[in-house]
């Protein structure tokens, strides 16, 4: 079964009173959090016959870690604008462009997020959200649903485009310019962590051009067969990102998508095995995503 763990599932993941969701215990591996680079382990979670608590990626660390990651040099970055942002107004504007993606592979289900690219239903998400899916269902912000199919994928970039069927008049997101993003810029993440659709979190850009690698060591991993996994330069943010946020958008304060949320750093897990946010999340820059979308859609 596709998934991210070898051990038996437990109920009640994410510390949420949602018994319909459960979390599998990630396999313990000697991961390294190196200076200037981050070793990432995929943690796509699927459960037999049930929603698997969300589709995502997490970064593991062990007790031998001796060096913290470097951040982009503050001396080279201009001072961020600290003027007040009306987050609720931005969220109201962009929420219709964010969707929940439910996938079924065999007898298992998982949840991820996505962002609407076109009014007729093209949607951008992570490849690991839809990889190997037999059935895909998109749930829009108004609660309506539609089946979807994969248009194209780029496994190396961990991006995919899907097409929702029989829809029109959708609110397409405005894609921004990630090359203009600065350390300290305020950001807004929206997605479906743990299946909680429309969850909004805020934070800042913590670092730029972070080297992120998602390995493919485990045979049960949804990244298996990719020959070394996935690597990309990421935006790092302290906006809370958890499993189920994968594929969802990271917005700037003007409501433009600047990144696709894809991974988190989680040095420890709870007793239920859930990998939770510790304020270190990673997003694929939207400039990278634009190039991939042009090739695969």
For residues 42-65, average pLDDT: 40
| Residue 165 per-residue DSSP state | T
Instruction: Please choose, from the candidates 43, 246, 285, the residue with its C-alpha nearest in 3D space to the C-alpha of residue 129.
Output: 246
CB 212 within 8 A of CB 234: yes
**pLDDT reported for residue 85:** 85
Catalytic residue, chosen from 158, 185, 221, 238, is 158
Single out the catalytic residue among 192, 206, 240, 246: 246
Helical (H) or strand (E) element with 215 = strand 199-215
User: How far is 262 from 285, CA to CA, in rounded Å?
Assistant: 10
- What percentage of the chain reaches a pLDDT higher than 70? 64
pLDDT at 145 over 90: yes
CATH node for 87-267+275-295: 2.40.10.120
Q: Catalytic residue among 128, 178, 272, 283, which?
A: 128
Confidence of residue 81 (pLDDT cuts 50, 70, 90): low
Q: Residue 276: which residues within 8 A CB-CB, separation 6 or more?
A: 14, 15, 242, 266, 269, 270
Residue 268: the pLDDT is 54
Distance CA(194)–CA(54), nearest Å, equals: 5
Q: Extract the runs of DSSP E, i.e. beta strands, from 60-142.
A: 98-105, 108-116, 122-125, 135-139
SS3 assignment, position 281: strand
Query: Hey, what are 122's tokens?
Result: 């093209």
Helices assigned H by DSSP within the chain: 87-94, 127-130, 286-296
What are the backbone angles phi and psi of residue 220, rounded to the nearest 5°?
-85, 0
Q: How many angstroms separate the CA atoms of 97 and 85, rounded?
A: 20
Strands 57-59 and 256-265: parallel
Q: What is the mean pLDDT of residues 244-255?
A: 97
* pLDDT over 80 at 295, yes or no: yes
Q: Is 158 a catalytic residue?
A: yes
* Mean pLDDT calculated for residue range 253-264: 96
CA 196 to chain centre: 14
Asked if 209 is an active-site residue, the reply is no
Q: Over 70: is that where the pLDDT of 209 sits?
A: yes
Instruction: Respond yes or no: is residue 6 known to be catalytic.
Output: no
pLDDT of res. 34: 39
Q: Which residue shows structure tokens 């510790």?
A: 278
């Amino acid at each position: 079964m596709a998934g991210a763990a070898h051990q038996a599932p437990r109920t009640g993941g994410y510390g949420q009173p949602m018994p319909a969701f459960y979390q599998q215990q990630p396999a313990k591996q000697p991961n390294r959090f190196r200076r200037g680079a981050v070793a990432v382990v995929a943690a796509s979670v699927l459960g037999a016959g049930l929603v698997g608590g969300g589709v995502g990626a997490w970064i593991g660390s062990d007790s031998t870690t001796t060096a913290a990651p470097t951040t982009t040099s503050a001396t080279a970055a201009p001072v961020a604008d600290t003027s007040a942002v009306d987050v609720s107004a931005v969220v109201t504007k962009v929420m219709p462009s964010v969707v929940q993606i439910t996938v079924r592979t065999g007898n298992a289900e998982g949840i991820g997020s996505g962002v609407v690219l076109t009014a007729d239903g093209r949607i951008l998400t992570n490849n690991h959200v839809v990889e190997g899916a037999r059935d895909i269902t998109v749930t829009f912000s108004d609660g309506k649903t539609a089946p979807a199919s994969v248009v194209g994928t780029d496994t190396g970039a961990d991006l995919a485009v899907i097409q929702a069927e029989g829809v029109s008049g959708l609110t397409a997101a405005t894609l921004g310019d990630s090359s203009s993003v600065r350390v300290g810029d305020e950001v807004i993440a929206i997605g479906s962590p743990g299946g909680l659709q429309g969850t909004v979190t805020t934070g800042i850009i913590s670092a730029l051009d972070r080297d992120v690698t998602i390995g493919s060591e485990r045979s049960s991993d949804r990244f298996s067969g990719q020959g070394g996994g996935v690597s990309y330069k990421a935006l790092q943010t302290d906006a809370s990102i958890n499993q189920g946020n994968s594929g969802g958008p990271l917005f700037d304060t003007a409501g433009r998508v600047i990144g696709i949320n894809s991974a988190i750093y989680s040095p420890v897990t709870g007793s239920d095995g859930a990998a939770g946010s510790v304020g270190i999340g990673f997003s694929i820059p939207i400039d990278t995503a634009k190039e991939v979308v042009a090739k695969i859609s």
